[in-house]
Structure 1
Amino acid sequence: MRLVLAGTGSAVGKTTIATGIMRALSDRGIQPFKVGPDYIDPSYHTMATGNVSRNLDSFFMTDAQIREAFTRAMKISGARMGIIEGVRGLYEGISATGDTGSTASVAKALKAPVVLIINSRSLVKSAAAMVLGFRSLDPEVKIRGVILNQVKNRRHYLKTKEAIEKLTGTEVVGGIPRSAELEVEQRHLGLVPAVEREQIASYIEKWGSAMEEYLDLEALEDIMASAGKIDGEREPLWRRENKRKVKIGVAFDEAFNFYYRENIEALEDNAASVVYFSPLHDEELPDVDAVYIGGGYPEVFAGELESNRSMRISVRKFHADGRPIFGECGGLMYLMNSIDGHKMCGVFPYSAEMTKNVQGLSYVISEAVSDNLITEEGDVFRGHEFHYSRVSVTGDAQFAFRVLRGRGIMDSMDGITSGSALASYVHIHAASCPTFAANFTRNAWELQDEV
């Protein structure tokens, strides 16, 4: 059983509605998913269901890998139903007419029915026209239902429902009224991550209650049940090559929590024991062979990170001892000398600063120009970048990646290196860089032997 919850565009209430549905059905067994490169929405899904939300992305993955990722996640969680929140509008991808990167591409790879979410403010018959347009654009995409959001009142809902059902033959499974109580705090990269706010749980409970009140959940289950079996080839997500045991320290707290779960599992599949630590709260690094510092909001917690001097010294000493460190985006910033004047680890002798405008927002294709912690020279891999910061690099900096699509740190280069440290603005998914875990764990034990 599976379902894609897609929007006619951005800001139609997808995350509120999808998370609310997940919460409302959570006792029946839900495995959540999110289309596209996103860490924040999945944190809400995870809190709503108790199962780790997974990302599905046709830029990062082949259709066969999408099927593998979906099936694998369902098996791990043991859930009955897979609910997939889309990204932007149903058909939005990286090109004007193609499928890559779109919600539609994921729905087609999984042969999953779609429920379309419409912001119905000031719409009645025009909502039916929207449904007809979305249904006719690609007959392979099976739109089986509609959810109306921003409904003014009961009368508005019934009129719009009548228009859609009579003129398009598509079932309307409910309508969500306009309500400030259903809104939640936002930040420059989107919603505030669930890990940061205890009150997020109360929002999710409200969303779940609203979906129970205003949607026909049994109708949604019927739509999910209509999906049938997933057929087609499946393809492994990453390489499993390293068998020598290593310990990888992974930074995880309010400042650093942007990780794809598959990245952690790929490390574990390559004989890694993952040890979590907090750059904010712990005094020093744990006893590990390598360190992975993912993305997040270090700029928001720059004062606290600066105050934890013992941790910063520990990271700097780990680097001086020749141990491998891999940093992504927020991790890159933390490894610099400073963020907006606040002292950081100083692994790299440069400063990071926040800007008012987005500095990188793109799917990325990179080529390794030299062997490094996660790739080998000539490897081409994919990822994404989304940041409002920049790093002021001077002198003879060494870079491991040439950016073929995207921006990078400077001059279409990324993956800055210093000894056994590698830091980059590009976020990778284990499926988009299948050598990541095998190479990182191999380098962890090889460099361990040299220390």
Structure 2
Amino acid sequence: MKQCPALLIAAPASGQGKTTVTAALARFHRNQGLKVRVFKVGPDFLDPMILEQASGHPVYQLDLWMSGQAHCQKLLYEAAIAADLILIEGVMGLFDGSPSSADLAIAFNIPISIVIDATAMAQTFSAVVHGLTTFNPSCRIVSVLANQVAGPVHAELIRESMPCDLPCFSVLPRQTSNQLPSRHLGLVQANQINELEQSLEQFAKDLSRTDICQLPSCVTFKMPSSEFDLYKYDSQTTVKNLRVAVASDLAFSFIYQANLDLLRSMGARLTFFSPIADAKLPEADSLYLPGGYPELHLDELAANQSMHESIHAHYEADKPIVAECGGMLYLLSSLTDSHGKTRNLLNLFPGRAIMKPHLVNLGMHSAGFAQGELRGHTFHYSQLETAIQPLALTQPVGKGLRPEAVFRLGSMTTSFMHWYMPSNPVAAAALFSS
């Protein structure tokens, strides 16, 4: 067992300021000389980019369904060994989803701090707090932060209505400087936020005036069972010494750190390249095209014909390609962005996609492969049009959600799915094997 101070930052809904507060806490404690490890609940890519810059360390996802409790236990235990503080940013509202942020906190006995946007609220704020703290007695809610408070009078209206038996209460005044910018798919990528370093320092300074910056209580994290080995694999996995080229730039940046760790642990040698800027692929046996925002970089992707030729040569040599969501869009004949601009792309996957103003599909899904079930999630605004018949359809977890198609064309496997590869290392390895 290993003890380490830990805190889960949650909220009654999205858009309350969880990421800003978590990033500010990470930077504040990092500035105090502490080693901070940050996690994100759920299958998010954008928030972890901000949190990684705030903490100075890679941010991993925790999800009791997608990765499983044993995997979460392993990640938390390893973080507790290395860190002086563990911070976890929740997803959506505290009790939203199944499993929820609350379920994760209960599973590992982690205390919770609630962030609530107090805009246009006064005494009703305390009713929201009362509901959150009493909904499930198994949750240990230890503090509440009122975010975006208009001024001293607003703060006092909220404070005087708070029952004395409710958790530690702090106020964060409304400032245009203490919120991160958003776009239609969530937060802007960290490397696209101007002066992010200065903003993080200001967030930390603002938050230092509140009680939430006190070091949380220690949590005991158990060592994973000796029977559990996340990266256990057998003779079916053939990625040892395999050279895997991984797309990584502004257009392709949605990738789980745990996926990269898994491939490396199984012996793969990863090389990163930019489909936007590089002239050709690095020497590679397999190609990994993760998700991202190719629709925001259509001109550059379409213009890089030497990269097109290099990827075509890779495919024609019958070398594997694994493409997820935005990576799949890059493989198509054409892509049309939300403004109606269309550009021809790789044309390895016959079909086209159009960006829609509304969400097309989302949620947790699993898919069956010869090596077993592989889990992941989908979240996209693009509509695919193709005559190619899918190899399989995913099984969505949520009711009313549509399955996603999984396509196999020669040595290429592609889908809107973002695979969480540690959910089945053998199946993941097979995707990259010739």
Partner residue of 2:263 out of 267, 276, 279: 267
User: 1:412–1:102: structure 2 CA closer, same or farther, 3 Å change rule?
Assistant: closer
1:17-416 equivalent positions in 2, closer than 5 A:
17-27=21-31, 28-75=34-81, 78-93=82-97, 100-164=98-162, 166=164, 168-172=165-169, 174-212=170-208, 214-219=209-214, 221=215, 224=216, 226-231=217-222, 234=225, 235-241=228-234, 242=237, 244-340=240-336, 341-368=342-369, 371=370, 376=371, 379-394=372-387, 397-405=388-396, 412=403, 414-416=405-407
User: 1:436–1:158: structure 2 CA closer, same or farther, 3 Å change rule?
Assistant: farther
User: 1:202–1:52: structure 2 CA closer, same or farther, 3 Å change rule?
Assistant: same
Deviations 1:260-297 (A, max 9, x none): 10000000011011100010111000001101110000
Aligned to 1:96: none
Shift of 1:233: 5.2
Aligned to 1:15: 19
Shift of 1:186: 2.1
Say whether the 8 Å CA contact 1:239–1:438 is kept in structure 2.
no
**SS, match of residue 58 in structure 1:** coil
Shift of 1:121: 2.6
Structure 1 residue runs of 5 or longer lacking an equivalent are 94-99
**SS, match of residue 43 in structure 1:** helix
| TM-score, normalization by structure 2 | 0.90
Give me the identity figure in percent.
Answer: 29
* Distance (whole Å) between structure 2 residues aligned to residue 431 and residue 101 of structure 1: 18
* Distance (whole Å) between structure 1 residues aligned to residue 155 and residue 318 of structure 2: 64
Say whether the 8 Å CA contact 1:164–1:170 is kept in structure 2.
no
Aligned to 2:339: none
Say whether the 8 Å CA contact 1:316–1:346 is kept in structure 2.
no
Greater mean deviation of Cα atoms: 143-152 or 181-190: 181-190
User: 1:133–1:413: structure 2 CA closer, same or farther, 3 Å change rule?
Assistant: closer
Residue identity matched to 1:170: P
Shift of 1:429: 1.3
User: 1:434–1:164: structure 2 CA closer, same or farther, 3 Å change rule?
Assistant: farther
Structure 2 residue runs of 5 or longer lacking an equivalent are 337-341
Alignment: residue pair count: 416
* Distance (whole Å) between structure 1 residues aligned to residue 184 and residue 427 of structure 2: 29
Say whether the 8 Å CA contact 1:299–1:339 is kept in structure 2.
yes
Shift of 1:329: 0.2
Shift of 1:198: 4.6
* Distance (whole Å) between structure 1 residues aligned to residue 265 and residue 190 of structure 2: 27
- RMSD of the TM alignment (CA)? 2.2
Shift of 1:230: 2.0
User: 1:250–1:231: structure 2 CA closer, same or farther, 3 Å change rule?
Assistant: same
Say whether the 8 Å CA contact 1:135–1:141 is kept in structure 2.
yes
Shift of 1:122: 3.9
Say whether the 8 Å CA contact 1:362–1:384 is kept in structure 2.
yes
* Distance (whole Å) between structure 1 residues aligned to residue 79 and residue 284 of structure 2: 28
* Distance (whole Å) between structure 2 residues aligned to residue 285 and residue 14 of structure 1: 39
| TM-score, normalization by structure 1 | 0.87
Say whether the 8 Å CA contact 2:145–2:212 is kept in structure 1.
no
Say whether the 8 Å CA contact 2:111–2:141 is kept in structure 1.
yes
Aligned to 1:425: 416
Shift of 1:157: 2.0
